[in-house]
Amino acid sequence: ETKLLENQNISEAVVIDREDKKGHKYLCAYIVARAKTNANELREYLSDHLPDYMLPSYFIQINKMPLTPNGKIDRKALPEPAGDVIAASGYEAPRNETEEKLAAVWQEVLDRDKIGINDNFFEIGGDSIKALQIVSKLSRADLKLQVKDLFTNPSIRHLSKYVKKETKARISEIVQGQMPLTPVQRSFFAANQKERNHYNQAFMLYRKDGFAEKIVEKVFRKLTEHHDALRMVYREKNDEIIQHNRGLEDSVFDLYVYDLKTEKNLEETVYQLATNIQKDISISEGKMIKLCVFKTTEGDHLLIAIHHLLVDGVSWRILFEDFEAAYGQALQGKPVELGYKTDSYKTFSEKLAEYASSKKLLKEQEYWREISKGKMAFLPKHRQAAHDNYENSRTLRISLSQMETEQLLKEAHKAYNTQINDLLLTALLIASRQLTGENRLKILMEGHGRDDILQDVDITRTVGWFTAMYPVFIDLEDEADLSMMIKIVKETLRKIPNNGIGYGILKYLRKDEVLLKDEKPPILFNYLGELDHDLTTEQFSSSKLSAGQSIGEKSARDASVEIDSVVVGRQLMISTTFNEY
C-alpha cells in the first residue's frame, strides 16, 4: 500500500486478501487514481521496489473508497474482481533471445507446454530443487544465473536481466587427493560410530526392452570418471576420518545380473537380493556403488545403490539425466559425451573450510546462537527409547490425491505468494499444537546446501553430499487465523540466512561451543521435490519393485520423528518415521 501511494497518479490504495469461488486466496489491490491506470504499468512500477512474491494478483480502480460510519475504509464493502478489474497480466510471449531461452528451460524443468514472461515460478510448480535444475541447464548453455535471483524475481520478465554469459573456463581434469570433510559428513560420522557402511540411497529403474549389461557397465565407467565424488574412499587414521578422492586406476562399482524370469515370488526375491547387495557396500574399501540388473519376463529392472556420503537428492537428478543421455548414445553406438564438468566436491570442501574462518560467516553466529536458545515443545512419549535408530522405528505413509497435489503445488501459492515449505510447515505446526498444546516448535530442516555463498564456485552439476541441516524455531504466538499462521511461518523461513548452510559450518568446521551443545530438535522435516519428471525418460522409468533396505537397523536417525515428503506419480507422499516405544 505504501509503495502504491508513492505513485503520483494514485491518491488512495488498499491491498487485501480475497478468496475465489474455489477457495483459492489471492492479493487484490484497490486504488483511487487521478487518471485511468494500466495493470502492467502498476506491476512494472511495484516490481522496481518490491520482490515479485509481494505483488498483488489483481488491481481494481474505483472512484472512491467505501467508508464505515467511523470514517475508516470499509474493507468488506470493496467490490470483488469482476468487470471493473484492471486487466491483469496474462500470457505474454518472450521478447528476446534470453527470455526465449529462459522460457524453454522453464518448460522443460516444470514439464509445461507454454510459459509466458509473466508467469510466477512458484505458482506453476517451481521449488528450490527445480530452481537448481534451471540454473544447471542454463549453465550448460553457457548462461550464468544465481538461484537467489530466481527466488526474488520469479517471473521471466524480471529475471532475464540477471542472466549473464558464462565466462569461467571449463573444467576437464580428473580430480584426486585428500580433502576435508564437509559439515554434513562430519555430522554423519559423529552420529554413526558402529554402522557406517549400510547407509545408502537407492533407486530401481525399469526398461521394458531390457538393460544391456555391457552398456550399463560402459556408461557407469564414464559416470564415475566424470563425477569425481563417486570415486571416494574413507579410512580412519588416529581417530580421524580421511576422505580421499581416487583416480581412475581402481574400479569403484560392482555390477550383478540375476535372471528371474521363472521366479514366482518376484517382489520378495528382488527385495532380499537388493538388500543383501546394499549391505555389501564398504566405505573403507571404496566399493560404494552397487548395480544389479534383474531380468524378468516383463522387462529389466536396474538397481542403483550408492552410499549417502557420495550423493544427495540433487545429485540423483544429475545422475539420472546423465545416465539417460549416455545410455542413449551408447545404444546407438555413439561415443559417450557428458559435456563439461562443474567444480569438484574437493574444491567445494576446501573452499568451505576457508569460508569457515571468514568474517562473513561470523555475521550469522549470533542468529544461530539465538535459535539454539529457543525452548521447544517435546512430543509426548509412552517411554523413552535408548537411541533414535532404525532398529526401533516404524514408518507411516500417507498421500494426497493427484488433484490435491496439483492444487498444493500451484494454486495454493497464489494467495500469499508462498513456497511449498511455507504451507507444509504450517500444517506441521498446527498438528504439533493440537498434540502438545504448545505454540512453539523447534524443527531440524534439510536444505539442498548448494546456495551461492562461495565466490566463483559452480556446483550446479556437481555430484556429492551437499545437504545443509539446520534448526528452525517457529512460534505461532496463540494465533488462530490460518492466513496469519502462514504469514508467521513464511516470514520465519525468509529470515534464515543463506537457507541454513552457515549453521553446519559454524558447528562442525568452526566448532562453535554454543552450537556444539545445541539440543537436537525432536522433529526433522525434509521436502524432496518432484521425482516424476526426473524418473520418466525415453530410456527408462521408475520401477514398481523395491530397491531393498537402504539403511542398516543400527544406523542413527537424525531426530525422534522424521518427516520426508516427495511427489511421486503426481501425488505428494509423506513418510513419518518414529521410534516404536
User: What residue ranges do the domains of the chain occupy?
Assistant: 2-86, 97-165, 177-331, 357-579
**What is 357-579's CATH superfamily?**
Nonribosomal peptide synthetase, condensation domain (3.30.559.30)
CB 414 within 8 A of CB 27: no
Grid cell for residue 456 = 566463483
**What is 177-331's CATH superfamily?**
Chloramphenicol acetyltransferase-like domain (3.30.559.10)
Is residue 436 classed exposed, middle or buried when 0-12, 13-18 and 19+ CB atoms within 10 A define those classes? middle
DSSP code string of 106-137: HHHHHT-S---TT--GGGGT--HHHHHHHHHH
CB 459 within 8 A of CB 137: no
CB 106 within 8 A of CB 121: yes
- Can you tell me which residue has the cell 531461452? 101
**Whose CA is closest to 343, among 183, 178, 171?**
171
Give all strands of the β-sheet with 253-259 in edge-to-edge order. Answer: 253-259, 289-296, 299-307, 200-207, 541-542
118 Cβ contact list (under 8 Å, min separation 6): 89, 90, 91, 92, 155, 156, 157
Span 2-86 CATH architecture: 2-Layer Sandwich (3.30)
User: Same topology for domains 2-86 and 97-165, yes or no?
Assistant: no
CA distance 126 to 414: 12
Domain 97-165 top-level CATH class: mainly alpha
CA distance 126 to 113: 15
CB 138 within 8 A of CB 129: no
User: In residues, how long is the chain?
Assistant: 581
From first to last of its 581 residues, what are the pLDDT tens digits of the chain?
A: 888 888 888 999 999 887 765 455 667 889 998 888 777 678 778 877 776 657 777 788 888 999 988 888 898 899 877 534 443 445 688 999 999 999 999 999 988 878 889 888 988 888 888 999 999 899 888 899 999 899 889 999 999 999 999 877 777 789 999 999 999 999 999 987 778 999 999 999 999 999 999 999 999 999 999 999 999 999 999 889 999 999 998 889 999 999 999 999 999 999 999 999 999 999 999 999 999 999 999 999 999 999 999 999 999 999 999 999 999 999 999 999 998 899 999 999 999 999 999 999 999 999 999 999 876 656 666 555 556 778 878 999 999 999 899 889 988 888 888 999 999 999 999 999 998 899 999 999 999 999 989 988 999 999 999 999 999 999 998 898 999 999 999 999 999 999 999 999 999 999 999 999 998 899 999 999 988 667 778 889 999 999 999 999 888 889 999 999 999 888 999 999 998 76
| DSSP H or E stretch at residue 39 | helix 39-47
User: % helix / strand / coil in the chain, to the nearest 5?
Assistant: 40, 25, 40
